[in-house]
Amino acid sequence: MSLPEKIQAIAIDKTGNVDVLEKKTLDFPPSPPGNIVVKVNWGGVNFIDTYYRKGLYPIQNFPQILGMEASGTIARLPTDENILNDEEFKKRRFKVGSRVAVCAIGVHAEYASVPWSKVYAVPDSVSLLTAGAGLLQGLTALTFVTEAYNVRAGDYVLVHTVAGGLGLLFAQLCKARGAVVIGTTSTPEKAEIARAHGADHVILYPVENTVERVLEITGGEGVHVVYDGVGKDTFMDNFKLTRRKGTLVSVGNASGPVEPIAPLKLVEKNLALLRPTMANYTYTPEEARRYGTELFDLIARGVLKINVYKEYPFTTEGVREAQADLSTRSGKTVGKLMIKIADE
């Protein structure tokens, strides 16, 4: 397959608000010998895109192509013979034309060059749209309920913003493991969707006191684990609603980064506090393959339902709208936002 010298991509020349996002014509991305080149069809929109855009996460050089999640087909394999002969690489059975999903910075573009271990084979039973919508958040939820805190039957679990794309996955996975799932959301309509995806109790945070309701539901004990993707607005209350020897998992910063706290704060209940990233749970090729295989198996079997809320055009205006919609905590979005980059 011949590859173009230039590509269209969503990129920024500086950090800032959504108006720094632009669809630009850029040089074809550098492709080291260990990378796979993917022709992209779908791009998943995630909060991490907004963190890079705002400058919360560092960017080394501009222009920077954004996007951490996409799906498409392989346009070119690695050229490094050592990689082609690597046993982990062989287990993936990659070839030109293979359907794949990718998780790496800079993939909201017509073509993306990605380290081979960040490329996940998509089974025939899962569509490219579903794969592109489910990979990053699915791997995040799966690794966090396994390694950040190993959710077990009978655990009480609190998921903030449970009706969002990530929240619905947390709810489904925790319910499948036999946990009692408590979620927070903004509207009765979102609460119904959360219940349909495994939430046993849903708290409407604009009109209910989250701490009081959690303690009421748990008989005053609190939850075993909190998964908090909101950040600044909810973080300190988590200490009041987590039980003794419980775990607080800071998942994201939708309302802004959490202020520093003293380690002595954890002494009150012997709490564990984590701020993990999925990338460190899928760091090795073996970890990535194992979790990727498990994720797509859960999706194919219907244990995990991936909800696409809206598809946006591959334009400056489309991507700006998508990130703005995602960032409104009390907004209308339920499930995943996707950019349609090319027809399949």
> H/E/C letters for each residue in the chain?
CCCCCEEEEEEECCCCCHHHCEEEEEECCCCCCCEEEEEEEEEEECHHHHHHHHCCCCCCCCCEECCCEEEEEEEECCCCHHHHCCHHHHHHCCCCCCEEEEECCCCCECEEEEEHHHEEECCCCCCHHHHHHHHHHHHHHHHHHHHHCCCCCCCEEEECCCCEHHHHHHHHHHHHCCCEEEEEECCHHHHHHHHHCCCCEEEECCCCCHHHHHHHHCCCCCEEEEEECCCCCCHHHHHHHEEEEEEEEECCCCCCCCCCCCHHHHHHCCCEEECCCHHHHCCCHHHHHHHHHHHHHHHHCCCCCCCEEEEEECCHHHHHHHHHHHHCCCCCCCEEEEEECCCC
CB 138, CB 145: distance < 8 Å: no
Angle subtended at Cα 253 by Cα 311 and Cα 180, rounded to the nearest 5 degrees: 85
pLDDT at 95 (0 to 100):
97
Q: Environment class of residue 328 by beta-carbon count within 10 Å: exposed (0-12), middle (13-18) or buried (19+)?
A: exposed
Nearest to 8 by CA among 110, 107, 105, 106: 110
> Could you give the C-alpha distances from 144 to 3, 19, 139, in angstroms and in order?
38, 33, 8
Q: Which token pair is 81?
A: 């013979």
* pLDDT computed for residue 70 by the predictor: 98
> Pairing mode, if any, of strands 119-121 and 156-159?
unpaired
Q: What are the CA-CA distances from residue 72 to residues 102, 110, 111, 343 (Å)?
A: 8, 10, 9, 10
Where the chain has pLDDT below 50, the residues are: none
For residue range 53-101, list pLDDT tens digits in order: 999 899 999 999 999 999 999 999 999 999 999 999 999 999 999 999 9
Q: If 0-12 CB within 10 Å is exposed, 13-18 middle and 19+ buried, where does residue 300 land? A: middle
Rg (CA), the chain: 20
* pLDDT in the model for residue 329: 55
Q: Report the pLDDT value the prediction gives residue 131, as an integer from 0 to 100.
A: 98
* One-letter amino acid for residue 208 of the chain: E
Mean pLDDT of the chain: 95
